[in-house]
Amino acid sequence: MGKTNCSCEKCQLKSLFFSHVDASEMSNICDIKVEKQYSKGEIITTEGEPIREFIYMKEGLVKLSKTGTDGKDQIISFSKPFDFVSLLSVFSSKTYKYSVTAIEDTTVCILDLDVVKNHAQENALFAMDLMARISEATDKILLDNLAIKRKHLKGRIAHVLLYFSDYIYKNDEFELPISRREIAEYIGMTTENVIRTLSEFRKDKIIKIFGKDILISDKKRLQNISDFG
C-alpha cells in the first residue's frame, strides 16, 4: 500500500484524491505536491496567464479579482483553506480569467494540472467529487453576489463585516484583511462611502474601529442592517 499520509492532517484534497481509489493503484499525492508560501499582498496567479497548475489552499486567505478595461479592479470573492483556488476556469479555459492575491500570509499546495486531470480521467468518482466542489464554490459566489446586489450601501458594509466575523474569523473581533478601497471594490461602491459608513457605524456604537481592527459590539443591529438595508 502506498503512503497516504503526509504532514497535512486536514487536507481535504488528499481525501478526495484517495477516497475512491484502490490502495494499490495510487501514487502518493503528498509526494508530488509542492507547497508554496505567499506573504500578504503577493500575487498568486495573474489574469490572462496560462493555467499550468492546480492550486489548493492550505493556510491563509486570498482574494479573487479582475481588472476592468478602465484599470479599476473588482473583487469577486475570497477563498480560505481547503478551497480550490483555481476552481473557476481550470477545466474550461487555458488561461486564468481572474487574479488571485494573498490578503493574509498564505500557503498553497500546487499540483501539476495534468496530474489532476489524468487522475480525474482515470477515476470518475474523483471527477464527480471535484465537480461537486466546483459547483458548491461557484454557487456560493453567485449567491453572495446576489445578496450584495439586493442591498444598499449600509447593508452591503454590514454584510461584509458579518462575512468576515461569522464566516472567516468566527469572532466578533478581528483584523480586516483588506483596505477600505478593497471593500469598495468588493461591494461596488466608492472608498469614501465605505469609510463614511464605517464611521457612522462607529458613531452609532455598532462597531469599534482601531485602524484595521474591528470589534462588533452590537451584532443584532448589524445583522438587522444587513438583512433590511
The CB-of-208 to DNA minimum distance in angstroms stands at: 11
* 53-to-33, 107, 122, 183 alpha-carbon distances in Å: 10, 15, 18, 29
Question: Minimum distance between the CB of residue 153 and DNA, rounded to whole angstroms?
Answer: 3
Report the distance separating Cα 172 and Cα 30, nearest Å. 36
One residue of 145, 193, 223, 224 binding DNA per CB under 7 A: 193
Does 68 bind DNA (CB under 7 A)? Our answer is no
Is residue 114 at the binding interface for its own copies, with CB under 8 A as the rule?
Answer: no
Q: Is 97 in the site for its own copies (CB under 8 A)?
A: yes
Q: Is 158 a binder of its own copies (CB under 8 A)?
A: no
227 binds its own copies (CB under 8 A): yes
Give the residue, chosen from 138, 142, 212, 215, that forms a contact with DNA under the rule CB under 7 A: 212
Interacting span for its own copies (CB under 8 A) from 21-29, 48-56, 120-128, 165-173: 120-128
What x-and-dash track marks residues 164-183 binding DNA by CB under 7 A? ---------------xxx--
What string of DSSP letters covers 78-145?
EE-TT-BTTHHHHTT-SB-SSEEEESS-EEEEEEEHHHHHHHHHH-HHHHHHHHHHHHHHHHHHHHHH
- Closest-CA residue to 195 (of 173, 180, 179): 180
DSSP state of 163: I
Give helix then strand counts, H and E, for the chain.
9, 10
Are 157 and 187 spatial neighbours (Cβ–Cβ below 8 Å)? yes
All three cell numbers of 151: 442591498
By a kind-dependent CB cut-off of 5 to 8 A, residue 132 interacts, out of DNA, its own copies, none, with: its own copies
- Side chain identity at 191, as an amino acid letter? T
Positions that interact with DNA (CB under 7 A): 152-154, 179-181, 188-193, 195-196, 198-199, 209, 211-212
Q: Which residues form the interface with its own copies (CB under 8 A)?
A: 66, 68-70, 72, 74, 76, 88-93, 97, 117, 120-125, 127-128, 130-136, 138-139, 141-143, 145-146, 149-150, 188, 227
